[in-house]
């Protein structure tokens, strides 16, 4: 049902036909209520935890139950970039992008059942710190800490900022800088003052709001299009009135309703989806600081598993909540969302590459009644803020625990608290300064950009973690050279991708053969294999790791007794008590605050303003009778035991979740 390529002038569509909806006073009231509610929850959570210790601030005191952990995992993962990006991918090419979500269904379970027992037994706060414990030396820890911060600042923050800004501009026509600066200010208040506990509790609220809003829009969308059958029929007729002659530009893909696609000529080849996508996905769900930090905040292993199960079940929803509404948006507004002429696209959304990114905002503003529109704006801002708070908190943890402590090994806990909070403020400033570059990117290549970063930089890190956790013979030299070679290869491909961008529809492909014929998911597989082989060969050719590099740090040694470790077994971490094992030393630092800095109490007494500021930041100190707790007191080993009944319930749910995932993959394959 292909129409003539260029219609007569009399029927040329006007993209001004659709009135540009804005928010009504009722919608603004809903938004204001939402902000007040989030701030209230953030402030309430400040009283729920001890914020003046490292463990209290960075790991929420390790007292979180399963449902806030699960909600926070979901909210941290599903940012505003998800709503814009997944709906845009659905509008442009069908349901294949859902593979990223359903891959995560399995990987978050791998985290809880295989990786978390190792992390809990080792007693670490950050992922670079785990590798430092496992392999020794400092170069891998510093290398990874800098890499993680780079990935956070230049991919996660940029994508979420762009997506949130797109919604704010579409709905409110506010100045971009004022809107984003206001959002970041509210975000920074409870991230700086409340630490991870505030972030997790507000994430739980954001998740509830996201689900209510997104499901409401999904229902309205499916009613409008006539259900799933209506969508399957009408999607293939959603063709823009103006498109280039004799080309496939602007036509929906024939395989739009399939997740498994041609292995050679499609946008997401199925072998790459099964293997190449799984490697970065394992990095994200099992070794990324943002995700693992939430699971480490759980009360015990059972609560961490429960949180992962909740997230896994929720990951079923994005196909129906985001991808299919994006496809419906194309059906309802084909001339806008599916525009195929660069000049027209430039007029509609300022991006000659295409306007699929406006699919979700368009649906919200055109389809929802007054009041619900304000709720959906809250959803988008909730998604943006939950992602940013997670990134801010995790980045500050990595900077403080991996970089600052390396620069100042004998720093007090008071100093760590201040540095962690100041770094959040610094990130806020960097985020605002990053806006012009995000605007210049216009989002057209932004999601390709983040997938490329994932496929080119994450596989080597994932492989080193997997081998470190599950192969006792892996050593520092093997891990370092495997990581270095893998990241160099990834960086080369990344640079080539920017030098030779993918041509727009209808243009000749002049890229080198390596880029033209090797999909980024296939390259991810090559990177994983190269890194594995390097770690394997170098580790076998050099000396095996010492016993203390393995004890409580691999799957097979996670149950080792702490008492069996001699003081000299491992490198003593500067600034901690001598005469206890590394895990005991670490526990002592997390549990016991260091004595107040000299003069802090006097300053506190002499200045009401400083006193208020210290209280807000959770830095208050007991003045009278404040005795510093003994730093060298060994802590009991972290228990990995689970109650038999709870363990059986969790394992049954694990089987149900895996079966649901396999069924969905098979049904939509």
CA 439 to chain centre: 21
Q: What is the pLDDT of residue 50?
A: 57
**b/e code 261-285 from CB counts within 10 Å (16+ = b):** beeeebebbbebbeebbbbbbbbbb
Q: Which neighbouring-strand residues pair with 261?
A: 269
Give CB contacts under 8 A, 24+ apart, made by 267-274. Answer: 267/93, 267/96, 268/96, 268/97, 268/99, 268/521, 269/519, 269/521, 269/522, 271/522, 271/525, 272/519, 272/520, 272/521, 272/522, 272/524, 272/525, 273/96, 273/99, 273/103, 273/521
Residue 584 has pLDDT above 50, yes or no: no
Q: Largest alpha-carbon pair distance within the chain?
A: 87
Query: In whole angstroms, what is the distance from residue 563 CA to residue 617 CA?
Result: 37
Q: What is the pLDDT of residue 217?
A: 92
Please answer whether residues 403 and 179 qualify as being in contact, where contact means their C-beta atoms are separated by less than 8 angstroms: no
Q: Which of 148-162, 537-551, 575-589 has the lowest mean pLDDT?
A: 575-589
Whether pLDDT at 379 is above 90: no
How far CA 328 is from CA of 222, 280, 340, 363, in Å, comes to 8, 30, 18, 8
Residue 634 has pLDDT above 70, yes or no: no
Q: What are phi and psi of 298, to 5 degrees?
A: -70, 155
Q: Which of 23-37, 195-209, 597-611 has the lowest mean pLDDT?
A: 597-611
CA–chain centroid gap for 572, Å, is 33
Tokens 């290869």 label which residue? 489
CA distance 198 to 628: 26
What's the confidence (pLDDT) of residue 344?
85
Question: Is residue 91 a contact partner of residue 331, using CB atoms and an 8 Å limit?
Answer: no
| pLDDT tens, residue by residue, 201-213 | 877 888 888 888 8
| Burial environment of residue 464 by CB neighbours within 10 A (0 to 12, 13 to 18, 19 or more) | buried
**pLDDT beyond 60 at 233:** yes
Higher pLDDT, 413 or 220: 220
235-245 exposure pattern, b = at least 16 Cβ within 10 A, e = fewer = beebbbbbbee
Closest to 250 (Cα-Cα) out of 260, 262, 237? 237
CA dist., res. 290 & res. 196, Å (int): 11
274: pLDDT strictly greater than 70: yes
- Residue indicated by tokens 């038999």: 644
As beta bridge partners, residue 64 has 298
Q: Which of 281, 312, 308 is nearest to 297 (CA)?
A: 308
What pLDDT, on the 0 to 100 scale, is given for residue 597? Answer: 43
* Residue 608 domain-assigned (yes or no): no
The predicted-structure confidence for 532-581, as pLDDT tens digits, reads as follows 999 999 999 999 999 988 999 999 998 887 644 443 333 333 333 333 34
**Lookup result for tokens 């306007």:** 355
Instruction: Count structural domains, the chain.
Output: 1
Of residues 316 and 189, the one with the higher pLDDT is 316
* Residue 585 located in a structural domain: no
The whole-angstrom separation of Cα 90 and Cα 321 is 11
Strand (E) or helix (H) holding 311: helix 301-314
Which positions ≥6 away from 165 have C-beta within 8 Å? 176, 179, 180, 435, 438, 439
Using CA atoms, how far apart are residues 131 and 126, in angstroms rounded to an integer? 9
Give CA separation, 191 vs 188, 327, 377, in Å. 5, 36, 22
Inside any domain, residue 172: yes
The closest alpha carbon to 128, from 118, 114, 115, 138, belongs to: 138
> Higher pLDDT residue, 107 or 294?
107
Half-sphere exposure (Cβ direction) of 584: Cα atoms closer than 13 Å: 23
Q: In whole angstroms, what is the distance from residue 95 CA to residue 330 CA?
A: 13
Q: Check residue 637 and report its DSSP letter.
A: P
Q: In terms of Cα–Cα distance, which of 79, 520, 94, 74 is closest to 277?
A: 520
Q: Is residue 83 part of a domain?
A: yes
Highest-scoring range by mean pLDDT, 35-49, 117-131, 367-381, 447-461:
117-131
Which pLDDT does position 415 carry in this prediction?
Answer: 85
CB atoms within 10 A of CB 156: 23
- The H or E element containing residue 470 is helix 446-470
Cβ-Cβ contacts under 8 Å for 383 (sequence gap 6 or more): 75, 78, 79, 80, 82, 83, 160, 164, 206, 210
Q: Kindly state the DSSP code that residue 156 receives in the 8-state scheme.
A: I
Task: Give, as one character, the DSSP assignment of residue 174.
Answer: -
Average pLDDT, the chain: 78
- Say which CATH number the domain at 406 has: 1.20.1730.10
| Euclidean distance between CA atoms 86 and 666, whole angstroms | 21
What is the domain extent for residue 222? Answer: 25-554+639-668
In a domain, 234, yes or no: yes
Q: Is residue 15 part of a domain?
A: no
- Statement: residue 531 has pLDDT above 90: yes
Between residues 637 and 222, the one the model is more confident about: 222
Band of pLDDT at residue 654, cut at 50, 70 and 90: very high
Burial 514-548, CB ≥16 within 10 A → b, else e: ebeeebbbbbbbbbbebbbebbbebbeeeeebeeb
3-state secondary structure at position 636: coil
Phi/psi of residue 546, nearest 5 degrees: -65, 155
Residue 439 has pLDDT above 50, yes or no: yes
How far is it, in rounded angstroms, from Cα 300 to Cα 541? 39
**Model pLDDT for residues 106-146, shown as the tens digit of each residue:** 999 999 999 999 999 998 888 988 999 999 888 998 888 88
Q: Residue 186 falls within a domain, yes or no?
A: yes
Extract the tokens encoding 659.
């079966």
In the structure encoding, which two tokens stand for residue 310, read together?
């909740």
DSSP one-letter string for 474-535: --HHHHHHHHHHHHHHHHHHHHHHHHSPPPPTTS---S-HHHHHS-HHHHHHHHHHHHHHHH
In whole angstroms, give the CA distance from residue 125 to residue 574. 17
* 355-364 b/e (C-beta count within 10 Å ≥ 16 → b): bbbbbbbbbb
Higher pLDDT, 26 or 79: 26
Q: Measure the CA angle with vertex 64, ends 58 and 67; round to 5°.
A: 125
User: What pLDDT was estimated at residue 113?
Assistant: 96
Burial zone of 43 (CB within 10 Å; 0-12 exposed, 13-18 middle, 19+ buried): middle
At 65, is the secondary structure helix, strand, or coil? coil
- Kindly state whether residue 97 falls inside one of the protein's structural domains: yes
């Amino acid at each position: 049902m292909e129409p003539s390529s260029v219609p007569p002038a009399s029927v040329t569509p006007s993209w001004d036909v659709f009135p540009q909806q804005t928010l009504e006073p009722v919608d603004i009231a809903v938004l204001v209520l939402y902000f007040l509610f989030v701030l209230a929850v953030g402030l309430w959570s400040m009283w729920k935890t001890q914020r003046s210790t490292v463990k209290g601030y960075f790991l929420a005191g390790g007292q979180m139950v399963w449902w806030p952990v699960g909600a926070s995992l979901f909210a941290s993962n599903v940012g505003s970039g998800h709503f814009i990006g997944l709906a845009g991918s659905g509008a442009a090419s069908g349901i294949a992008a859902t593979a990223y979500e359903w891959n995560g269904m399995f990987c978050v379970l791998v985290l809880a059942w295989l990786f978390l027992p190792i992390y809990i037994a080792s007693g670490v706060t950050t992922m670079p710190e785990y590798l430092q414990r496992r392999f020794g030396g400092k170069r891998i820890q510093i290398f990874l800490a800098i890499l993680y911060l780079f990935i956070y600042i230049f991919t996660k923050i940029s994508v979420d900022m762009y997506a949130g800004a797109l919604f704010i501009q579409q709905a409110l026509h506010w100045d971009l800088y004022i809107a984003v600066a206001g959002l970041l200010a509210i975000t920074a208040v409870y991230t700086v003052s409340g630490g991870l506990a505030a972030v997790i509790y507000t994430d739980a609220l954001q998740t509830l709001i996201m689900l209510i809003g997104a499901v409401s829009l999904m229902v309205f969308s499916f009613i409008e299009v006539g259900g799933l059958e209506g969508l399957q029929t009408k999607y293939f007729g959603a063709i823009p009135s103006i498109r280039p002659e004799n080309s496939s530009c602007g036509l929906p893909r024939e395989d739009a309703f399939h997740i498994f696609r041609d292995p050679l000529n499609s946008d997401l080849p199925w072998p790459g989806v099964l293997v190449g996508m799984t490697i970065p996905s394992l990095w994200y769900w099992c070794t990324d600081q943002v995700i693992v930090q939430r699971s480490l905040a759980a009360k015990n292993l059972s609560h961490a598993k429960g949180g992962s199960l909740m997230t896994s079940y929720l990951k079923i929803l994005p196909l129906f909540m985001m991808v299919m509404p994006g496809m419906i948006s194309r059906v309802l507004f084909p001339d806008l969302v599916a525009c195929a002429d660069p000049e027209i696209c430039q007029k509609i959304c300022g991006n000659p590459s295409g306007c699929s990114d406006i699919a979700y905002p368009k649906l919200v503003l055109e389809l929802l009644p007054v009041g619900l529109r304000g709720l959906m704006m809250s959803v988008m801002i909730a998604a943006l803020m939950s992602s940013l708070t997670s990134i801010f908190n995790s980045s500050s943890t990595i900077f403080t625990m991996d970089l600052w402590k390396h620069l100042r090994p004998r720093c007090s806990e008071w100093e760590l608290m201040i540095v962690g909070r100041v770094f959040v403020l610094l990130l806020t400033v960097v985020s605002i300064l990053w806006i012009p570059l995000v605007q210049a990117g216009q989002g057209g290549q932004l999601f390709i950009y983040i997938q490329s970063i994932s496929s080119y930089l994450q596989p080597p890190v994932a492989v080193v973690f997997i081998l470190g956790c599950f192969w006792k013979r892996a050593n520092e030299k093997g891990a370092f050279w495997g990581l270095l070679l893998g990241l160099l290869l990834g960086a080369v491909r990344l640079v080539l991708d920017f030098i030779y961008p993918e041509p727009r529809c209808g243009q000749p492909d002049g890229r080198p053969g390596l880029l033209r014929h090797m999909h980024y998911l296939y390259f991810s597989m090559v990177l994983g294999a190269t890194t594995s082989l390097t770690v394997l060969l170098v580790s076998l050719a050099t000396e095996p790791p010492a016993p203390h590099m393995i004890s409580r740090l691999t799957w097979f040694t996670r149950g080792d007794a702490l008492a069996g470790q001699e003081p000299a077994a491992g490198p003593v971490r500067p600034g901690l008590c001598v005469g206890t094992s590394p895990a005991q030393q670490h526990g002592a630092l997390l549990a016991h605050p260091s004595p107040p800095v000299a003069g802090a109490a006097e300053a506190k007494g002499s200045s009401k303003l400083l006193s208020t500021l210290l209280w807000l930041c959770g830095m208050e100190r007991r003045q009278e009778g404040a005795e510093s707790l003994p730093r060298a007191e060994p802590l009991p080993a972290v228990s990995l035991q689970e109650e038999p009944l709870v363990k059986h319930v969790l394992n049954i749910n694990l089987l149900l979740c895996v079966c649901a995932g396999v069924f969905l993959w098979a049904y939509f394959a």
